[in-house]
Structures are given as structure tokens and as C-alpha cells.
Amino acid sequence: MPVIELVKMIDMVDPSLRAVLLGILEEMERQQRENVTKREFNELKEVVRDLGHSVNDLAEAQKRTEQRVEELAEAQKRTEQRVEELAEAQKRTEQRVEELAEAQKRTEQRVEELAEAQKRTEQRVEELAEAQKRTEHLIEELAEAQNRTERRVEELAVAQTKTEKEIAKIYQQIGGLSNAVGYGIEDDLMPHMDAYAEKVFGVHVLNVDRTNIEYADGRYDEINILAPATDKNGQQVYIVAECKAQPGKKDIDRFVALLTRVSSKLGENLIPLFIGYSFMPEVERYAASKYPQIKLVKTYQIKMAGRRNP
């Protein structure tokens, strides 16, 4: 193998091995310069050839080593990248663990708050139970009071029934007295009605009577004084009079309702009189403002007209 090629191959080996090989070459050149024998030179050539093969083997081994080193370097890069990824994952894991720890703290705090709320609820329920007991007790007392009230109402109802019966008796007595007074007024005034009617209204009374006006439905109205008469034109009119000792507003209202019913039977030519011993001022004002067609007459006015015209 030429020395130049051998030197090129030596340059490819590891530096520490390169120095040894160069030392061998230098020794071979030195021995060649000293005129070594052909046999020795041939032996040296064999040695150099073997050395070249060894150098080739070493160069190939060196290539494989460098390739392996490069592969290891790539593997190292991938390992470092994986380690970095694991480190990032670890950071995320630690962050998540920290978040979970915070969440756990909040959960524990919330559980504690719920426990406190539960205590308050239980206390409130206990208070409500006590209030319910008091309410039930009060309801029981009210029920007893209601029973007493019902008994008292029943007693009052019985007493009211007795009172109503007594009042009914009194009303019967009063009614009888009122009728007696009313009939007394009517009986006392009837002899004077013709003279009073002629003087005040200018009509001629045909007769004077206490009578009942009957209607088609079977009902009837009692007329205290009914006096059919004729006016100046010969037209028939009716004097319709109600008699009360001291009439009130309701008496006037009832008389107006009676006139409405009577007009359906006798016609519209009515001369309505309300006769009494006296009239309270408010009754006179009430009749004058609400029923101006009704003439209020005191008993003595009818008697005086009769005496003046016997």
C-alpha cells in the first residue's frame, strides 16, 4: 500500500492511535534509510500491510462508533425533550394538585358552612315545634272558649226567643192601641170631612167611609178614610186619607206606596191627605220636598172647618 494512502487512512483514526501509527511509519523510513535487507523490508511491508488492514478495521470501527455516538446524541436529544415534556407535565400536575387542594379547602369550608346552616335549621325546627305546641295549646283553649261561646249563644238565643215573644206581645198591645187611636181619629173626623173637603178643595163629598180596596191577586189595602166626591166640573174624585197620631217619614213613604196601588184601582183623580195630631218639623220638610202632592193636615184643622160650616 503506498505510504500516502496509508497516511490518509491514519488521519481518519483516533488522535491517540494516530501518534502510534505515525511513529511506526517514521521507524520504517528510518530503517529503510539504513539499508535494511530485502527480507526485512518485505517483512516490514507485511507488517505495514497488516497495519493497513488494522487501520481499515479501526477506521470502520471509528465510523460505526461515530454513527452510534450520533445515534446516542439523537437519543439524548429525544430523552432531553421527553424529560422537558415530563417536567412540563409535572408542572401542570403540580398546578392541578394545587388547584385541587384549593378546591378541597373551599369544599371543606362549604361543608362547614352547611353544617352550621344545618345546626341553625335544626334549631329553627325545634323552635317551630315548640311554637306548634303553643299553637295547639292555644287552639285547644280557643276550642274551649268557642264551646263556652256557643253555649252562651244558645242561652242568648233562648233568651232572644223569649224576648221576641214578649216584644210581639208588646207590639200587639201597641198595635191595638195604635189601631184604637187611629180608629178614634177616623171616627172623630169623618163627620167633618164633607165640610172640610168643600172648603179646602171645592168638591162635594158623596159619602165617607173606612174601607178595603181589593186587587185581582187577592191582596187588599185598608183605607182609613175614603170619600168619593165630585168637583166643580162634575168629575169624580176620591179623597184618600191616612190617619196617625204622630206620623213619621216611613209612614209617609208607606202611604205613597199605598196611593200607587190604589190608583191602579180608582184612577189618578186622587186627593191624598195625611192626618195626624201633630207633625215633627223634619217630617213636614221631608214630605214637602219629596212628596209635595200629599197634604199634611192636623186633626183640629178638619174639626174647625166642620164647626165653621155646620
Write out pLDDT tens, residues 48-102. Answer: 788 778 778 877 888 898 899 899 999 999 989 998 998 998 999 899 878 978 9
Which residue would you say has higher pLDDT here, 41 or 290? 290
Q: For residue 246, how many C-alpha atoms fall within 13 Å in the half-sphere facing its CB?
A: 4
Exposure string for 207-216, b = 16+ CB within 10 A, e = fewer: ebebeebeee
pLDDT > 50? residue 19:
yes
Phi-psi category of residue 289: left, alpha or beta, with phi > 0 → left and psi -120 to 50 → alpha: alpha
Q: What is the mean pLDDT of the chain?
A: 84
Residues contacting residue 305 through CB under 8 Å, at least 6 positions apart: 192, 195, 196, 199, 200
* Distance (Å, whole) CA 71 – CA 39: 47
For helices 3-11 and 38-189, the axis angle rounded to 10 degrees is 30
- For strand 236-244 and strand 270-276, is the pairing parallel, antiparallel, or unpaired? parallel
pTM: 0.44
**Number of residues in the chain:** 310
The more confident residue out of 13 and 252 is 252
Note the pLDDT of residue 180: 42
Q: Cell numbers at residue 187, please?
A: 171616627
φ and ψ of 169, to 5 deg: -60, -40
Give the residue from 66, 58, 60 showing the smallest Cα distance to 17: 58
Q: What percent of the chain has pLDDT over 90?
A: 48
pLDDT confidence of residue 12: 74
Q: Give the pLDDT score at 178.
A: 46
* Of 22, 27, 17, 20, the residue nearest 6 (C-alpha): 22
Q: What is the pLDDT of residues 99-118, one digit of tens each?
A: 978 989 997 988 689 778 88
Q: In which band, very low, low, confident or very high, does the pLDDT at 306 lie, cut at 50, 70 and 90?
A: low
Least confident segment among 27-31, 94-98, 186-190: 27-31
Residue 139: per-residue pLDDT = 64
**Under a CB-based contact definition with an 8 Å cutoff, are residues 22 and 10 in contact?**
yes
Note the pLDDT tens digit of each residue in 239-277: 999 999 999 999 999 999 999 999 999 999 999 999 999
Q: What domains are there in the chain, each with its CATH number?
A: 190-308 (3.40.1350.10)
So what's the pLDDT on residue 145?
87
User: What pLDDT shows up at residue 171?
Assistant: 38
